[in-house]
Copies of this chain bind each other. A is one copy, B any other.
Amino acid sequence: MESASSTPARPVGRGRKAQAAVRAATLAELLDRGYAELTVEGVAQRAGVHKTTVYRRWKTRESLVVDALAEHFTTDIPTPDTGALESDLRALAQALVQSMTDPVGKAVQTAMLSDAGRLPEVAEARRRVFADRIRRAEPVVVRAVERGELPAETDPAELFGTLAAPVYFHLLISADPAVEDTAERAVRITLAAARAGALTRSRHSAADDGEA
């Protein structure tokens, strides 16, 4: 669990390295101050660059935050390949819980759901994050179908959504203390629904008959 607070304060040049430093500083500021208190000045100072360097690449505070968030999320959930659906789902769910409960992840979730969450850019970043996670979860479904563990028509987006929903619901909404293992619970529900054929593409477009 690497803390974004370890961002170097030494001056860095323009280009990729400066951009990476600015993104890391943005996450660190988000973590320390929250979205409402985050300023471009503060980010620039933390990253060791001039404010104009930040503004050259990011026109607004919002676009800077969105970009830093999107970048953070492209690497948080790896694609597991453990040889079995259940352990693959477990790895995905555990990575999601980990990503949502480490200090950076917490700050990021809070920013995405706070008043900032209603900005079109933030909503768009959120959609991009999920599209990207679904893309990375796709091989898990393909391999499970090949192994005969799942119906051929299983939809990766449905599967990932079903796995993510109880994790988000528990960590962000209900906070039910009776739930002992968020990831394991999500795996259990998703496995049962997927094996029963409730997460197939055909169901997706024929939702109204309601039979599971």
Query: Could you tell me the distance in whole angstroms from the C-beta of A56 to the nearest C-beta in chain B?
Result: 30
Could you tell me the distance between the alpha carbons of A68 and B110 in the complex, rounded to whole angstroms?
Answer: 23
**Does A204 lie at the interface of the complex (its beta carbon under 8 Å from any beta carbon of B)?**
yes
With A168-B169, A169-B169 already in contact, the answer to whether A188 and B198 are too (CB < 8 A) is: yes
Using a Cβ–Cβ cut-off of 8 Å, how many residues does chain A contribute to the interface with B?
54
**Does A46 lie at the interface of the complex (its beta carbon under 8 Å from any beta carbon of B)?**
no
Q: Please give the count of copies of this chain that the complex contains.
A: 2
B192 touches A196 (CB 8 A): yes
Can you add 4 more A-B contacts, CB < 8 Å, to A34-B115, A127-B176, A188-B198? A130-B173, A164-B174, A168-B168, A189-B189
The 23 listed contacts between A and B (C-beta, < 8 Å) are A36-B115, A113-B113, A113-B117, A113-B173, A114-B114, A114-B115, A115-B115, A127-B174, A130-B176, A161-B176, A161-B179, A162-B189, A164-B169, A165-B165, A165-B169, A168-B169, A188-B198, A188-B203, A188-B207, A192-B192, A192-B193, A192-B196, A196-B196
Q: CB within 8 Å of B: which residues of A? A: 34, 36, 86, 90, 110, 113-115, 117-118, 123, 126-127, 130, 157-158, 161-162, 164-166, 168-170, 172-176, 178-181, 184-185, 187-189, 191-193, 195-199, 203-205, 207-208, 210-212
